[in-house]
Structure 1
Amino acid sequence: MLHYKTYQLVEPGAPWVVFVHGAGGSSSIWFLQIKEFIRHFNVLLVDLRGHGRSKAVAGSKEDRHYNFEDITRDILEVLDSLKIREAHFIGISLGTILIRNLSELAPERVSSMVMGGAIIRLNVRAKVLVTLGNMFKRVVPYMWLYSFFAWIIMPRERHKKSRLLFVNEAKKVAQKEFMRWFRLTYELTPLLRYFEEKDTGIPTLYLMGEEDHMFLPAVRIIITRHTNSFLQVITNSGHVCNVDQPVEFNHRAIMFLQEISGGMDAVAGIEEAAPACLVAC
């Protein structure tokens, strides 16, 4: 089972929030969120396979070559062990893909989704990066590849903190495990195309940095096609907006989750609080 950590510091029966990190990261990337969220919610942090304190999978060939469904079911296994029937989910980067996949496998477990730095579609630049990565992954040290990708996705000086955080976390991932995760890129395009076509109807808030040049344009499109989907753009922030602008990220995410209990009419009311930043379907 995945390594996880829980914070149950609020009254019994409080809703759960599950945080899902991206590839190469770990649950430690949420250190700027924990203090604020545990004031309102029970919190569950997980380390994905081969990341943080979760061990890499060993054994049969089938285990060694896993897919997005395998990784998503790891999260469900933790929920089952803790008897969490339903939760809000917050993800960053590739973690948003896993949350979206979880909403397909077990929609009854997902109260809402907050997608930070959401990956909705691969643009031309992203596809070129993935192709180059697959071409050179066996001849170029994997940390060179990861560092290069991190710089392309988060190129500005104010993204440096986020970039270094993810690179330093990625150093803890074994090279073989990195290769397993990189193989998942072959699944990305068809999976993302399916997600774009399928509307879950689950309340979803996309929190995107205004400088997330790789992925923000696709999110602007998808919220016009999916019901109960909202976008808030955080200024002076790049792809990893929970680290670049944690105060804004926390405030917007918590406000959204609290409004869920008031129905989607109340959620739509958030637009009045931040008219320049929110786009709603």
Structure 2
Amino acid sequence: MGGSSSIWFKQIKEYRKHFNLILVDLPGHGGNHAGLKDETDRSFEQIANKVIALLDYHGIRDAHFVGISLGTMVIQFIQHLSPDRVKSMVLGGSVERIHPPLILFVRLVEGVKYFIPYMWIYRLVAWILMPREHHVEARKTFIREAVKLGQREFFCWYRILHQEVNQFFARKKPVHTTPAIYIMGSEDYMFLPNIKKRYKKIMNARLHILPKSGHVCNIEKEKEFNEISISFIHSQSGFSEKHIEAING
């Protein structure tokens, strides 16, 4: 929440050697100036439908989806609503349960939100999620992008996160046939424990943990993230390495 398509700057160069790319800015994020604050229906289902409409606009029947943090939730809502559109899912720093201490914190914040600048709150949350010295680049990147979000939009997203995420994953059956890989940082202590338990119950799901990496693992460990995600997507596309080399050559 608060990031943008620009956080993929360490993936784009490598990804475009292999894939056609669409980078999506969610409502209110990055270059998307139409935010949740402008919508009457503020829900993850509505956001997922906007992404599906974008695919339709470009004539794309189905796609491989790659997401980080908030993006992984949107991907799984898309998979829930229209599983035939999702060839595979790369879920980096996946969020499938809001940790109780974080819920308590945001409830406290709700009571003082009109008296404290939201960027103070965002910086504190970013530090809670990414506290270590080697998380600095990822933390600063998200804080820099979050400035563009604005306070009203920030709290619109906060509300749907608070209201929907735990309920959705509690209801959602973990069994589905869409191939998925979770790429998590070993220091993503807020979300990794739940993913370790959950992925084993999901058909066609695997987990890869990147050592000495926090929540935003695509920035902290870009080489490993790129290699793992590219290999996984190709494994779901039926391409051999020789075929890939021929295309690139």
TM-score by length of 1: 0.81
Aligned residue runs from structure 1 range 113-124, under 5 A: 113-124=89-100
The residue aligned with 1:193 is 170
Give the aligned length: 239
The 1:59/1:151 distance shift into structure 2, 3 A limit, reads closer
Deviations 1:236-279 (A, max 9, x none): 1100000001000000000111111349xx9xxxxxxxxxxxxx
Q: Distance in 2 between matches of 1:261 and 1:181?
A: 34
Q: How many Å apart are 1:179 and its aligned residue?
A: 1.8
Q: Tell whether the 8 Å contact from 2:174 to 2:201 is kept in structure 1 after alignment.
A: no
Q: Relative contact order (C-alpha < 8 Å, sep 6+): which is higher?
A: 2
The 1:59/1:119 distance shift into structure 2, 3 A limit, reads closer
Which structure 1 segments of 5+ residues have no match? 1-22, 267-281
Task: Give the partner amino acid of 2:15.
Answer: F
Q: Distance in 2 between matches of 1:193 and 1:41?
A: 34
Task: Give the partner amino acid of 1:24.
Answer: G
Task: Give the partner amino acid of 1:259.
Answer: S
Q: How many Å apart are 1:140 and its aligned residue?
A: 1.7
CA RMSD of aligned residues (A): 1.8
The residue aligned with 2:213 is 237
Match of 2:222 among 246, 251, 272: 246
Q: Tell whether the 8 Å contact from 2:36 to 2:157 is kept in structure 1 after alignment.
A: no
Partner of 1:44: helix, strand, or coil? Answer: coil
Aligned residue runs from structure 1 range 107-146, under 5 A: 107-146=83-122
Deviations 1:12-68 (A, max 9, x none): xxxxxxxxxxx10110000000000111111110111111111134897xx245111
TM-score by length of 2: 0.91
Task: Give the partner amino acid of 2:151.
Answer: Q
Identity percentage of aligned residues: 43
The residue aligned with 2:129 is 153
Which structure 2 segments of 5+ residues have no match? 241-249
Deviations 1:83-135 (A, max 9, x none): 01000000000110000000011111000000000012222322223322323
* Greater share of strand: 1
The residue aligned with 1:94 is 70
Task: Give the partner amino acid of 2:31.
Answer: R
